[in-house]
Structure formats: structure tokens, C-alpha cells
Structure 1
Amino acid sequence: MMASMDGEGGTGRRTLLDAEAGQLFRDVVREGVLRPDDERLAEEHPAHASVQLLVELGLLRLDDERGGWLPVDPATLQAGLVAPMGRQAVELLAESAAWADTLSSLASAFRRTPSSSATHEEIRGLDAINRFLEGAVDDAEEELLTAQPAGPRRAQALAIASSRDLRALERGVRMRTLYQHTARRSRSMRDYVDVMRQKGAEIRTLDEFFNRLIVIDRRLAMIPGETTQTAVIIHDRWLVEYLIDVFERSWERGRDYDKTTRTTESEIAAEIRQLTVRMLTEGHSDSASAKRVGVSTRTYASYVAALKEEYGVQTRFQLGLAMGQKDTESAPDN
């Protein structure tokens, strides 16, 4: 009977056939017959395992007329050995796909129906966060609200978001996204926005800094955790409603991304300038101010330099005095 070729046993037999047993088979082919008194048939001989394997596989058959073991053409055995393994592989692939579908369905139910006692949960690690977000967005049926602060997003993050968001839009999910004004200056951001808008997404920008937020079907919200490697998932209905209200207020003040006229660009530049002035007068550090404005520290420094030139001063102290004096002069008389 032909031995099983499944699992580790099958791998071990193939390895042996590739090496010692294969060489023995070639020797028997060259010799023509393996005689019954051949020392390689003895159990204590090192080649005995190879002989046994060749017999089990049907590559050696006993021929009484020839008086020994004759080699058999491997091609005649291939269908009986390889074809069953191919069928098993197809069956395993189908079974693995079925398992994946079943587990995916259960995972979706888990995400959509949190435990009654859990108002929120924390996810640690960017990989875990991205996996959760991928699944949660794929579960979306009606609406996605997203707020992405701090200027342009990185190309890699945009590529991941683009695939995920397009799938949602193609399912008919309504998507509204809010960025800061400075995101308009990035070519990759403009390309991403153009694709999303063509698929029906609504996108606006705002001058002020805001916290990152994702709301899915008004039942689940994701906000930043205590570090950049953590995120908090909120399930509580009233907390989610509160975050939606915060988003809607910012959305009302935002400017449509597709309306980029000269007047709009001038107004956006004025809003960025006004925010920069406010950061200076409130005494924030450059790094904190740059984050609020949504630009790099170097770009923020160039904004400050432009203000110095505008007011005709050399130092930030002088700039503060000059701006304060101008505010006093422009204030109405009491």
C-alpha cells in the first residue's frame, strides 16, 4: 500500500527521496535489478530505510521472473502521489478562506456590539490601531466623520487611508473630513482629496487646531490616547454624541476644499496669519505654535519672520510691543 504523504511525514519522505533514496533508485536503474541477496536489503544496512521508502512508494516492485526488485517509471506514479496533494491543497485553501470569513464576521459583531459595561477601551501600538480602524471602517454602513489636524498627512498614511476610504465610499457610506488650512499646500493631499471628492466625499478645512477624531455610524468614536502609540475607542452613546456635536460646530466654520478662488485663498492666508499672531501674543513655544497652526517648526519660524518684516522690527520682543501698540490704537474709545 502506498504510504501517506501528508504533513511532516510526507515532507520527510520527499527529503529522503531527494537524497539517499533517490541515489539508490538511480543505482538500481543503472544496475537493472536489486537482487534478494543484496546487502542493501538488510535491516542493519544504512540504505535499508531508502529501500523501504522506494518499495512503499511503488518505485521498486518485486519481479519473481527477474529474480529481484525492478525499478518502476516514476511518471506512472505521479498522478497517484501528486494529484491527491493538489486536491488537499485546494480543499485547505477553501477551508482557510471559510475560516477567515467566519472569524471576520465574528470580529465585526464584536466591534459593533461592545460589552454593556465598557464605555471605552484603549488600543496600544500603531499596528493594532490600524488593524482596528481598518475593520471598523469596513464595517461602516452609513457615515464616517473624520478630523485630521496638523497639516498634510504623510504619503504612506494617505495610501492606506485612500484604499480604506474608497471602499467605504463605493459602498455608499457618506464621508465628511475636516483638515487644517495648511493641508491645502501639499500636492499629495490635493491628489488624495480630488480622488475622494470624485467618489462623493465632502472635505473642508479650518484654521484652528483641533483634536484627531473618527466617528463611525454615530455609534463608535476614536480619539488619541495619552501617547502617539495609543488610541481610545469610545462606545458610550452620549460621549459619542458630544464628540459629534464638537465636529459639527467645526464643520460649520470650515471652508469647502473645492472652493479655491483668489478671494478664498486670501481669506485663508489671513486666517493663518491671525492664528500665528494669536500664538505669539499668548506666548506659546514655537513647537506648540507650529502644531496649532498645522505646519513644521521651520515654516512657523518663516511666518514669524514675515511678521517682523511687516512691523519693521528685529526681535520677537519688539514684535510683541508693536502688535500690542497696534491693537491699542485700533481699539474703539470707551
Structure 2
Amino acid sequence: MADYSADQRALFEAEAIPLYEEIVAAGGLKTDDERIAGHEPPLKAAFDLLVDMSLLHFDEGVDQWVAEDPTAAQARVVSPLSVEGARLIEESSQWTRGFAALGVAWRSSAASEERGPFTYIRSKKAISPYILSLVSECHEELLTAQPQANRDTGRGLTVTVAQAERELLARGVRSLTLYQHSARRNPATREYAAAVTELGGEIRTLDEFFNRIIVVDRRVAIIPGPDDLSVAMAIHEPTVVAYLVDVFMRSWERGRPFGARDDKAVRQIAAEQRAMTMRMLIEGHSDPVSAKRLGVSPRTYAGYIADLKDEFDAETRFQLGYTIGQQGITADG
């Protein structure tokens, strides 16, 4: 069995297939073709892959490389993958049955009763699979609050949810996602928001800081551990879940649709971010804390402060705070 990597498949799709098609159309490929011969030929890797897959062979009679029927190569490459895929599915089913038995034992144990309706997931490796499994069972509504916008960093609880969100929306699940206003400046988040919105998902942003949370069908809520991204808690207690849903929905109602791009919406968002920056300044938070609460980098936050200094004609932070105080501006706006 030929074992090809994902990188080789990408090379096959991007370069080897077009090269093969050109060879078929031309009736062959000369050995001195500049695409495969000479110093650093551009298609040498693609050519070597076609040869390795027996899609090309050298015909001495015509002194050139000629194409072979791809059917045999397909059988050698694809058929073993299909067999392996079926084996993995069966293996997955076996593991599922095994863990189902463990679940029965756990739920009937004293330890389960002692812990009650709270489940701790205590490692980063366990959190993502747990969330994916839970979200895959979502039938009606998925609520997600993501205070920071870096979807492309691979961090945070909701990064995992994005992998399953397309399937959820396709089957009619309502999806509400809440970000901070700073998410609008993140290219990866904008791309994600456009795709999700097109599929029927709803995304809003808010000026305030809030904590991460995922709520599935208003029956299970997942929250991160305190100052520890390697720990998460799943909450099954209906009263607590209902309270968390209420907190989420209150924030959701104050949020602004991600796709709002009219001048009025842009001005309102800018004003809310300015007010939040002033609030952080008045309350005396450090720059790192303030930047985190606004969902921006310390450098961006420093830029916000610089803009306020210009606006209030202040040279120092102390002078800025004093001037704001003299004008009667409070932390609430």
C-alpha cells in the first residue's frame, strides 16, 4: 500500500493533476522539458510524484514520458484508505460502547452523586473532544460568548465549536455568538462571521468584557476554570444553566449585529469603545488589565489612551484623568 501524506495530496491536486492533463493532451513529455529538467525545475516534485504513483512511465520507443491509465493507481491509493476508514469507524463504535458502559457505572456510583450536576474536564486535550461531542448533540440552540476575537489562534473554548457549527446550522440549530467590538478588526473573525451569517448564524459584538461560555440547548453550560484554560466545567443543574442563559441574553440584547456597517453603527461602536477606555482609565486599571477587558492588545490600548490625550489636550495620564474628572465624566459614561 502506498502511504501518501496530506502535503503530497495537496501537491497532487495543485500541480500533479494539471501536469498529467498536459502530458495526456500533448501525447507525452520530453526528458529535457524545462519544467522537469535543468536547475530547480518548477514541476519536478509534481513529476516525481506522478512517476512514484505509476501514472507516468518512460517509453524508450518514443524517448519520452507517457501517461498511464489512472484507474490502477487510484485502486492502490484510495481503496486502502477506504478500508482503513471503515476500520476506524468500527473501532470508534467499539470505544463508544466501552465508554457507555463506564458511564452507566459512573452514574450509578456514590462518586457521581457526591459531585452532583457538575463535571470538571481537567486537561486541554480532554476539553476539545468533550465540547465537540456535546455540541454534536445540539438540536435547538447554541449560545457562545467569546470575549477575545482570536479564532485563528487555536485557543479558547469556542474555537473548537466552530468546527461543528456549519453542520449545526445546516440542520436548523439556532446559533448566537457574542464577541467584543474589537473582534471587528480581526480578519479571521470577520471571515468566520461572514461564513456563519450566510448560513443563518447570528453574531453580535459588545463593548463590555464578559466571560467565556457555551450553552447547548439550554440544558448544559460549559465555563472555563478560574485563570486556567486547562480546566473547564460542564454544568447540568437547570437552575444554574437558566441563570447563565439569562446573563448571556441580557448581554446579547445590548450587542450590535456584526454585519452592521452603516455610518451610524460605526459611530456608535466607536463611541462605546471610547467610553469603555475612559472607564478603564477612571477606575485605575493597569494597561494589561484594561487591554484584556477591551479585547485588544496592550499596544492598541495605548493608542486609545494617546487619542484621548489628544482629545483632552493632556500630556500625561494624570493630567488626562484630572481633566476628565473636572468635566464631570464618570466611569459609567
Equivalent of 1:97 in 79, 82, 89? 89
**Structure 1 residue 162: deviation in Å?**
3.3
Measured at CA, do residues 147 and 287 of structure 1 come closer, stay the same or move farther in structure 2, by a change above 3 Å? same
Task: Name 1:61's counterpart in structure 2.
Answer: none
Task: Name 2:170's counterpart in structure 1.
Answer: 170
Task: Name 1:136's counterpart in structure 2.
Answer: 134
1:196 aligns with 2:188: no
Task: Name 1:295's counterpart in structure 2.
Answer: 296
Q: Write the letter of the residue equivalent to 1:255.
A: R
Task: Name 1:241's counterpart in structure 2.
Answer: 242
Q: CA RMSD in A?
A: 2.9
1:244-289 CA distance string (max 9 Å, x none): 0000100110111122111101110000000000000000111111
1:257 aligns with 2:258: yes
Please show how residues 87-236 of structure 1 align to structure 2 within 5 Å. 94=86, 97-104=89-96, 115=112, 118-156=116-154, 160-226=160-226, 227-236=228-237
Measured at CA, do residues 95 and 150 of structure 1 come closer, stay the same or move farther in structure 2, by a change above 3 Å? closer
Alpha-carbon distance between aligned partners in 2 of 1:107 and 1:248, rounded to the nearest angstrom: 35
Partner secondary structure for residue 327 of structure 1 = coil
Alpha-carbon distance between aligned partners in 2 of 1:301 and 1:186, rounded to the nearest angstrom: 18
Residues 131 and 161 in structure 2, CA contact (< 8 A), matched pair in contact too: no
Partner secondary structure for residue 228 of structure 1 = strand
Measured at CA, do residues 241 and 170 of structure 1 come closer, stay the same or move farther in structure 2, by a change above 3 Å? same
Partner secondary structure for residue 229 of structure 1 = strand
Measured at CA, do residues 316 and 136 of structure 1 come closer, stay the same or move farther in structure 2, by a change above 3 Å? same
TM-score (norm 2): 0.66
Q: Write the letter of the residue equivalent to 1:213.
A: I
Alpha-carbon distance between aligned partners in 2 of 1:303 and 1:324, rounded to the nearest angstrom: 18
Partner secondary structure for residue 284 of structure 1 = coil
Measured at CA, do residues 214 and 107 of structure 1 come closer, stay the same or move farther in structure 2, by a change above 3 Å? farther
Q: Write the letter of the residue equivalent to 2:131.
A: L
Alpha-carbon distance between aligned partners in 1 of 2:88 and 2:142, rounded to the nearest angstrom: 31
Residues 151 and 159 in structure 2, CA contact (< 8 A), matched pair in contact too: no
**Structure 1 residue 120: deviation in Å?**
0.8
Larger CA deviation: 185-194 vs 266-275: 185-194
Give the number of equivalent residue pairs: 241
Partner secondary structure for residue 139 of structure 2 = coil
Alpha-carbon distance between aligned partners in 2 of 1:219 and 1:316, rounded to the nearest angstrom: 47
1:201-227 CA distance string (max 9 Å, x none): 011110000000000011111111021
Task: Name 1:80's counterpart in structure 2.
Answer: none
Partner secondary structure for residue 214 of structure 1 = strand
Q: Which structure has the larger Rg over C-alpha atoms?
A: 1
Measured at CA, do residues 281 and 141 of structure 1 come closer, stay the same or move farther in structure 2, by a change above 3 Å? same
**Structure 1 residue 304: deviation in Å?**
0.5
Please show how residues 78-89 of structure 1 align to structure 2 within 5 Å. none
Question: Structure 1: any 5+ residue segments left out of the alignment?
Answer: 1-85, 330-334
Q: Write the letter of the residue equivalent to 2:134.
A: A
1:83-138 CA distance string (max 9 Å, x none): xxx99x96x97565234135447768959x97555221211222211111111111
1:274 aligns with 2:275: yes
Q: Write the letter of the residue equivalent to 1:101.
A: S
Residues 147 and 211 in structure 1, CA contact (< 8 A), matched pair in contact too: yes
Measured at CA, do residues 301 and 96 of structure 1 come closer, stay the same or move farther in structure 2, by a change above 3 Å? closer
Residues 209 and 294 in structure 1, CA contact (< 8 A), matched pair in contact too: yes
Q: Write the letter of the residue equivalent to 1:254.
A: G
**Structure 1 residue 153: deviation in Å?**
2.8
Measured at CA, do residues 141 and 263 of structure 1 come closer, stay the same or move farther in structure 2, by a change above 3 Å? same
Partner secondary structure for residue 260 of structure 1 = coil
Measured at CA, do residues 223 and 159 of structure 1 come closer, stay the same or move farther in structure 2, by a change above 3 Å? closer
